[in-house]
Amino acid sequence: MKSKKLLLSLVIALYSQNAFACDSCLIDNSFEYKKPEAMHLNLGISEDFVGYGKVRLDNEKIPSKQGQYLKSYVTDIVGRYDYTDSSAVEVHVPFIDHSSKRLENGDLTRADESGLGDISILLKSVVYSSVRPEAVFNINLLAGVKLATGDSDRLSEESTEDPNEFVDGHLLALGSGSTDVPLGAGMFFRSGSIITRGDIEYVIRSEGDHNYRYANSLFWKAGVGVIPGSDDSVVLSLNLSGEHQGSDEINGAKTDDTDLDMLYLGPEVVGNINQDLTGYARVEFPVHEDAAGLQAIIDHRVIVGLFYSF
């Protein structure tokens, strides 16, 4: 049956992470279930909505000050070319829309930003694969570069922000002005109708515009899923993910309001719409937060995506 073969190819391996905070969507994408097929072109689109509905001051929850808020929408357009049966190159073009209100000189002011984000180019490879009638096991690696294509002007505000403001310039900036390097690894295992997977990624960042350097970041994800039908056309999963970010730097000095450790939990569904079109949806909620200084904290995240295989 075609759908069975298709979904098996989707869930077998080049699983790339992210419940990862959108830096932007260089890892969270429509192809996370798509195994490479030599000389094959794929196109995808995903929409990532992030609501910053919590405020923390030195890790203590406080009410939002004077109606400040931040909502972020990222549309990630992805092109991928599989040049062998185990390797692929992927290009991500994110378009970002930040909607917010924040304090500026004591007044509550709209502070919206929208436009092109930082474009990323990723190389992915399945380095080990074992496919047997009773089980499938794969290990994959990821490496790439994130280019400084997004507008970083909001970073210039970091040294002059209102001390009561938590919608900071580093959250509103569309780009970092830096060239960064993501490195990652992942595993996938299927036995019968049960699927387990795990991924880890480390992003190495350089100093960007306005003498601002985002901290290196560590992301990870673990999930368990089930294929409920006999035709292998749907996967239902539950994912636990986390991120660790250290202190950003301005002019070489560490900031006191960017350290962050988060854990997220949420369901995911992936399914075949037809022979060539596959969709997925994921919802995530924080279950643990550890934040330094005054910070806006994510309280929910919704990701939906489609990809088409030619």
With CA atoms as reference, report the closest residue to 76 among 60, 90, 63, 55: 90
Residue 94: what pLDDT? 92
The span from the CA of 171 to the CA of 100, in Å, is 10
The pLDDT confidence band at residue 52, using thresholds 50, 70 and 90, is confident
Phi/psi zone of residue 192: left (φ > 0), alpha (ψ -120 to 50 degrees), beta? Answer: left
CATH number at residue 18: 2.40.160.40
The pLDDT confidence band at residue 61, using thresholds 50, 70 and 90, is confident
Amino acid at 207: E
The span from the CA of 232 to the CA of 251, in Å, is 53
Residue 161: what pLDDT? 65
Residue 164: what pLDDT? 65
User: Residues 210, 156: contact at Cβ < 8 Å?
Assistant: yes
Residue 249: what pLDDT? 92
Where do runs of H (alpha helix) occur along 86-178? 169-172
Residue 276: what pLDDT? 82
Which residue is it, tokens 């880890």? 200
Which residue is it, tokens 């970041």? 217
Residue 203: what pLDDT? 93
**Which tokens go with 224?**
């368990």
Mapped onto helix, strand or coil, the DSSP state of residue 210 is: helix
Got the DSSP string for 218-271?
Answer: EEEEEEEEE--STT--EEEEEEEEEEEE---EETTEEPSS--EEEEEEEEEEEE
**Percentage of residues of the chain with pLDDT beyond 90:** 38
Between residues 240 and 57, which one has the greater pLDDT?
240
Which residue is it, tokens 């298709």? 6
SS (H, E, C) 46-98: EEEEEEECEEEECCEEECCHHHCEEEEEEEEEEEEEECCCCEEEEEEEEEEEE
Mapped onto helix, strand or coil, the DSSP state of residue 209 is: helix
Task: Name which of 111-115, 162-166, 192-196 the model is least confident about.
Answer: 162-166
pLDDT 10s digits, 185-234? 988 898 988 999 888 999 999 999 999 999 999 999 999 999 887 777 88
The number of distinct structural domains making up the chain is: 1
With CA atoms as reference, report the closest residue to 261 among 295, 227, 290: 290
The whole domain housing 20 covers 2-309
With CA atoms as reference, report the closest residue to 98 among 34, 45, 169: 169
